[in-house]
Structure formats: C-alpha cells, structure tokens
C-alpha cells in the first residue's frame, strides 16, 4: 500500500512516487523529464509594478510540503465530505468521483453509460488500463508540461486524478460530479482532470475544490484540467473553488477544439489564501466556440491572479469572456485577459469583459484586457471597469429607509446578478448567492430571506448594476456580448 512521502520536492521523490504506484516506464520517464524542466525554468516573478501575487508564490516554502499523502484508506468518507455530497451542486448526477488528498477514494458511474462505452476512472488506473489514450492526451497539446514552471512541477508529482472519455455520439444529460478535498496540513496535492469528448458527444462536468483542516500551516493544491473537444462535441465545465485560507492554489485549465466543438467554462472562486489561475480556450477547429463566465469574491488579505486566453487559430470561431468580482478588506486581484487572433483566423468574433467592485479603501484591483490581432476580418472588443459603490446611489437607497449595510449588499447583489443568470446550474447560483450574503453580512442567512427580498428592493428606479463610480451609467453596455 502506498505511504506518504517525506517533506521536500526532489528527483528521488519523483522516482519513489512512481515506484510506489507501480507505473510503467514511460510514465516514470515523463515525470522525470517534467522534473528536469521544472528545475531548468526560472521562477516567475511577475512584472514590475504588479500586485505581487507571483512574487508571493516565489517565496512559498514548497520544500516544507509532502508531495504525496494518500487517504487513510479505511473506506469511510470523512463527515465533512459526506455532508458536502448531500449539499452538492447537482441534485441528480450521472457519475461521481471523490479525491481526498492524493487518492481517489470513490467512483460511481451510471450503468447505462458504462454500456455505451463511457469511461470514468481515476487517472492512476487509466495509466494502466488505457495507456494509449493517456500517452496521447496527457499534458501534450492542451496543457503542455513546459507551459509554466508550476505545470512542470505538476507533471512530475501528479497523483489521483480523474479520467473521463465520452464515445462518439453519446450525450450525457445529468452532470458528472467531482469533489477534490484536502484534509491535511503541509501537503501538496497535484490533482489532474483529463476529459476527452469524442465526436458529437456532450457532457456537463462539475468539479468542487474544498478543504477541511485547521491551523496556519499551509497546504498547496496545484491542479490541471485538460479538455479535448472533438468535432461537434459539447462540454460544459463548472468549477467552484472554496478552499480554506490555509490553502494556496495554482490552477491551469485549457480546452482545445476541433471543428464545430464548443466549451463553456463556469468558474466561481471564493477561497484559498493565494490563487494563481490560468484559463484557456484553444479554438483550433473551424466553427469552434468557447465561453467563459467567471465570478470571484475576495476578503481578508486574499491574493488572486487571474489570466484568461481566447486563442483563435481557425476560421469562423467565436469566444466570449465575462468576469465579475468584488473585493473587500485588504484583498488584491490581478486580471489579465487576452484575445489572440492568429493570421488564418478570419471571420472571428471574440469579446472580453471584466468588471470589478471595490468595497474598502485598502483593497486593490488591476485589470489588463488585451488584443493581439493577426487577421483582417475580425469582430473583437475588450474592456474593463473598476470602481467603488457610488455614494449617491447609497444615499438614494438610505433615504428610503434602508440601512447602509443592507444598501451595500443590495448593490453588490445587483452587480453580480447579470452574470449569475448566465450560470446554468441553479444549485451553483444559489450557493454563490448564499456565499455573497454571508460575506456581506457575516452570517449564514438563507438565500430566500435575503437575496429575493433584495431583488424586490432592487427595482427602485435608478439603482442597478451600474451603481458604481464609473463615470455614471452608460447609455448601453460597453461591450455587446450577445451580438455575434
């Protein structure tokens, strides 16, 4: 039975991890090559004048972490996980995977889907049972090993992980749910999700990241998600990150598309002490499309660095990125969004929008939307806004008998609501609303008692999602996200 590795990241630790798992030689060599890349790449420090998130990671004490801590293996799920499954983001599910630290501890899949050829298993098992697929797709073109120093570290130490293959023409109606848990301090968890959606297939996949341990000794979640979308396939990937403030998070997600394939990323980030997030849409097939809807809420002294990329490489591709977030206390968030249109990507339509609301004088946000255009038949636009709640709008509500705290909460709810309505999962919308109310009020009031009441008061004339100090309310939305 595998045992925990001692603290410290080294080449010998990589070899011992592979030996304990009984991996084939080709996987050991891939791990060792990744370790060599990790050691050879410089530590990213960010750019001069940024908010310092990458520099914080450069000072993180990786060598004090154990790179492999399996679950206790007694077969019983810890009480917090059992409770979380009862309150999961999906009511009905086609499959379930639970990973605790470095081990997959539970896998379920609908029997009819098994008969149709759907494969849902741990990535450790897929290395042994489906080596051809893993060798072809694991960290090759979607998230290459050498993407960043931290992806190379992930490739060297990944463990557990989820492997999902949907055969040609199979449509999975109910979502597949995955929960990844960290319940031990001073550990590094390298969770990997690999999804292959064959031609004309479809799937809704939901992944939750949680932690359940006390103390100030930090742990790390360095996770990678790779989604391969074949011809005319459709993938909807929803992720809620609600880690504790004693967990640092590095996440790299990317989807690559063939002809007419489409992906929707739905991302909700609420937890972790420091988070470095890279999200991509690789639109390599003609007529492929991608959408990214993101929500974040930071408080205390959280630090986020969010990077998005819509990479258009073929004809008639479409992409849309919409991110909204709120900062309070002394938190800091950097957002860098990129639309890249390559020379052969004619008839591209791509839109990028980021809006940030500041609730304190000590929080800071920096938004940098960018365009790289290499074609001449393109419809693309980008924009970002950052500001505080307008005091005149607060006064407008307060003179109607609404206390200042509640008025602020109403405005924040209205700020988020347009993007929440874009989230397909009702349970995720409800969870986010409860989390927003909790952070604004400091209590676990029910969504029905707060959000709905606030929405009724929101109908007060002149108070809407534009109730922030951005030079007043524009005549129309700066970026018309639905016109392409």
- Calculate the CA 138 to chain-centre distance: 19
Beta-ladder partners of 334:
305, 366
pLDDT tens-digit map of 312-359: 999 999 999 999 999 999 999 999 999 999 999 999 999 999 999 999
Residue 457, pLDDT > 80, answer: no
DSSP state letter for 400: T
If you average pLDDT over residues 63-90, what whole number do you get?
A: 84
21: nearest Cα among 135, 165, 126: 126
- Which of 70-79, 226-235, 475-484 bottoms out in mean pLDDT, i.e. has the lowest? 475-484
For 44-154, list the strands marked E by DSSP: 95-100, 103-109, 119-122
Mean pLDDT of the chain: 90
Each residue's pLDDT tens digit, 43-72: 999 888 789 999 999 999 999 999 999 887
Q: With a cut of 90, say whether residue 444 has pLDDT above it.
A: no
Tell me which of 161 and 78 has the higher pLDDT.
Answer: 161
pTM of the shown model: 0.91
* pLDDT category of residue 267 using cuts at 50, 70 and 90: very high
Strand residues in 23-139 grouped as ranges (E): 95-100, 103-109, 119-122
Is the pLDDT higher at 147 or at 440?
147
Residue found under tokens 């059992």:
82
For residue 82, CA distances in Å to 79, 86, 98, 179, 268 come to 5, 7, 10, 11, 22
pLDDT: is 436 or 127 the higher one?
127
Residue 449 has pLDDT above 80, yes or no: no
Closest by CA position to 423, among listed 279, 247, 237: 237
Residues paired with 389 in a beta bridge:
468
Residue of 173, 187, 181 whose CA lies nearest to 106: 181
Rounded-to-integer distance, Cα 253 and Cα 276, Å: 11
With bands split at pLDDT 50, 70 and 90, how would you rate the model's confidence at 461?
very low
H helix intervals, 348-482: 391-398, 404-420, 426-441, 447-457
pLDDT digits (tens, 9 = 90+) for 144-179: 999 999 999 999 999 999 999 999 999 999 999 999
- Whether 462 shows a pLDDT value over 70: the answer reads no
Q: Confirm if 156 and 139 have CB atoms less than 8 A apart.
A: no
Average pLDDT over residues 110-132: 97
| Structure-derived torsion over alpha carbons of residues 69, 70, 74, 75, reported in degrees to the nearest 10 | 140
Amino acid 428: pLDDT: 87
- Give the confidence band of 481 by pLDDT, cuts at 50, 70, 90: very low
Higher-confidence residue of 283 and 440: namely 283
> What are 247's strand-pairing partners?
219
Q: What is the DSSP letter of 245?
A: T
Q: What is the pLDDT of residue 465?
A: 47
220, 250 contact by CB (below 8 A): yes
Q: Reply yes or no on whether the pLDDT at 483 is more than 50.
A: no
Give the list of residues 6+ apart from residue 322 with CB closer than 8 angstroms, or none.
292, 293, 294, 353, 419, 422, 481
Is residue 418 within 8 A of residue 357, CB to CB? The reply is: no
CA distances from 125 to 62, 69, 74, 104 (A): 27, 18, 19, 10
Beta 234-241 vs 348-358: how paired, if at all?
Answer: unpaired
Of 181, 188, 184, 243, residue with least CA distance to 220 = 188
pLDDT at 88: 81
pLDDT band of residue 442 (cuts 50, 70, 90) is low
pLDDT at residue 73, as a whole number: 61
The pLDDT of residue 287 is above 50: yes
Predicted local distance difference test score (pLDDT) of residue 425: 87
Which residue in 9, 17, 6, 5 sits closest to 63, CA to CA? 9
What are the structure tokens assigned to 383, written together? 């924009």
Q: Given the DSSP bridges, would you call strands 162-166 and 119-122 parallel, antiparallel or unpaired?
A: antiparallel
DSSP 78: P
Closest CA to 284 of 333, 348, 241: 348
In whole angstroms, what is the distance from residue 107 CA to residue 242 CA? Answer: 22
| Nearest of 175, 166, 165 to residue 95 by alpha carbon | 175
> What whole-number percentage of the chain has pLDDT above 90?
77
Tokens of 283: 């639109």
Cα–Cα distance between 208 and 230 in angstroms, integer? 25
Low-confidence winner among 170-174, 232-236, 349-353, 478-482 (lowest mean pLDDT)? 478-482
């Amino acid at each position: 039975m595998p045992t925990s590795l001692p603290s410290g990241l080294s080449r010998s630790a990589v070899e011992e991890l592979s030996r304990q798992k009984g991996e084939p030689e080709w996987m050991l060599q891939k791990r060792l090559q990744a370790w060599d890349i990790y050691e050879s790449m410089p530590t990213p420090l960010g750019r001069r004048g940024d908010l310092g998130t990458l520099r914080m990671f450069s000072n993180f004490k990786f060598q004090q972490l154990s790179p492999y801590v399996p679950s206790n293996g007694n077969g019983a799920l810890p009480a917090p996980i059992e409770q979380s499954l009862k309150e999961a983001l999906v009511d009905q599910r086609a499959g379930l995977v639970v990973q605790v630290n470095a081990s997959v501890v539970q896998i379920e899949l609908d029997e009819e889907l098994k008969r149709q050829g759907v494969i849902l298993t741990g990535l450790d098992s897929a290395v042994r049972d489906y080596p051809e697929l893993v060798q072809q797709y694991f960290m090759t073109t979607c998230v290459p090993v050498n993407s960043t120093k931290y992806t190379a570290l992930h490739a060297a130490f990944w463990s557990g992980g989820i492997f999902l293959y949907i055969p040609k023409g199979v449509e999975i109606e109910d979502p597949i749910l995955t929960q990844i848990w960290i319940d031990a301090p001073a550990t590094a968890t390298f969770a990997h999700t690999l999804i292959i959606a064959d031609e004309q297939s479809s799937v809704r996949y939901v992944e939750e990241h949680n932690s359940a341990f006390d103390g100030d000794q930090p742990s790390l979640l360095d996770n990678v998600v790779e989604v391969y979308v074949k011809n005319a396939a459709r993938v909807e990937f929803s992720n809620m990150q609600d880690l504790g403030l004693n967990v640092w998070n590095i996440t790299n997600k990317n989807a690559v598309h063939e002809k007419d394939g489409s992906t929707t990323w739905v991302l909700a980030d609420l937890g972790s002490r420091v988070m470095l997030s890279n999200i991509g849409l690789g639109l390599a097939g003609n007529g492929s499309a991608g959408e990214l809807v993101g929500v974040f809420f930071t408080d205390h002294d959280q630090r986020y660095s969010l990077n998005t990329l819509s990479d258009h490489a073929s004809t008639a591709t479409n992409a849309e990125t919409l991110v909204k977030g709120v900062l309070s206390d002394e938190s800091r968030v950097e957002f860098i969004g990129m639309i890249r249109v390559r020379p052969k990507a004619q008839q591209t339509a791509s839109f990028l929008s980021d809006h940030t609301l500041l609730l304190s004088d000590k929080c800071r946000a920096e938004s940098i939307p960018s365009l790289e255009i290499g074609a001449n038949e393109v419809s693309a636009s980008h924009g970002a806004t950052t500001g505080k709640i307008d005091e005149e709008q607060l006064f407008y509500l307060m003179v109607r008998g609404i206390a200042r705290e509640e008025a602020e909460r109403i405005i924040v709810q209205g700020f988020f609501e347009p993007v929440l309505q874009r989230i397909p999962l009702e349970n995720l919308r409800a969870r986010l609303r409860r989390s927003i109310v909790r952070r604004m009020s400091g209590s676990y009031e029910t969504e029905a008692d707060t959000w709905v009441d606030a929405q009724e008061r929101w109908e007060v004339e002149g108070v809407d999602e534009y109730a922030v100090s951005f030079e007043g309310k524009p005549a129309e939305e700066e970026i018309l996200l639905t016109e392409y």
